[in-house]
Amino acid sequence: MIRPAPFTTTANSVKKIARLCVLGVDPAVAGATGYGVVEFIGSAPRLLRFGALKLPARATFAVRLREIHELIAQLVAEFAPDAVAVESVFTALNMRTALKLAEVRGVVLLAAAQASIPAHSYSPREVKASIAGYGAASKQQMQQMVTSALGLTEYPEPADAADALAVALCHAHNFRARERMLASITAIPAGIRARTASGAAKTNLRNQTRAARISVL
């Protein structure tokens, strides 16, 4: 039994720290579609649920699409995530597999859209770079990093579920980074921002003028 690390907080701290809940999805055509729900209170992650949907080999592709859509819709209804993060199509796949995987991603995106939840796509390399520090990390290394990030006592199984959790963590990292960048920009006094914008505009005008002169010559 995988047990998340103890997580405690007070009612007052919850009000001060923004909550972020992300549903990560690792879509698959023939194999298992992994999913993982991670909640952040501030910078502290907490695992809410993970798993993988594995259908019988005899199941038709239409049935797979229906079951995956129903799974994502149920998870969205239960956890009300702030975002759905999906792994994008791997470009090295053959055309037939890539097209089918795009259809699987389509039903995931549809379930998110039906609940008016924003969806974000990340390539396998982006996810690995965000979680493991480099884009060529192995599946075992990714499991190790996800286990460490979520404070688990065991590797999340199957690997498809670990991949989905990695996608969720990747989005959370990107979202927090954008928040910090926005906060740093808004923290700059208005006068300095105005002078910076004015300087940038003047520099752009000089560059345009220089380019015009060069074109005339």
> How confident is the model over 26-65, as pLDDT tens digits?
999 988 999 999 999 877 899 999 999 999 989 999 999 9
* Percent residues over pLDDT 70 in the chain: 76
Distances (CA, A) of 9 to 14, 40, 47, 49: 7, 12, 15, 20
* Farthest CA pair distance, the chain: 74
Cβ contacts of 207 within 8 Å, gap of 6 or more: none
Roughly what angle, to the nearest 10 degrees, separates helices 159-186 and 124-132?
A: 70
Choose between 79 and 187: higher pLDDT: 79
At the second CATH level, the architecture of 11-186 is: 2-Layer Sandwich (3.30)
What residues are labeled active site? 26, 87, 160
pLDDT at 138 (0 to 100):
87
Instruction: Please report, rounded to a whole number, the percentage of residues in the chain having pLDDT higher than 90.
Output: 56
Q: Which residue has the higher pLDDT, 168 or 99?
A: 168
Annotated domain spans of the chain: 11-186, 190-217
In sequence order, what are the beta bridge partners of 34?
26, 52
Residue 135 pLDDT > 90, yes or no? Answer: no
Q: Which residue has the tokens 């590797």?
A: 155
Give the Cα separation of 92 and 33 in Å (integer).
Answer: 19
Rounded to whole angstroms, the Cα distance separating 22 from 17 reads 16
Per the CB < 8 A criterion, the answer to whether 149 and 4 are in contact is no
Tokens 């995956």, located at residue: 68
Can you say whether the dihedral through the CA atoms of 70, 49, 145, 14 is positive or negative?
Answer: positive
DSSP single-letter state for residue 148: H
Average pLDDT, the chain: 82
pTM of the model: 0.76
5-14, 50-59, 144-153: which has the minimum mean pLDDT? 5-14
pLDDT at residue 4 greater than cutoff 90: no
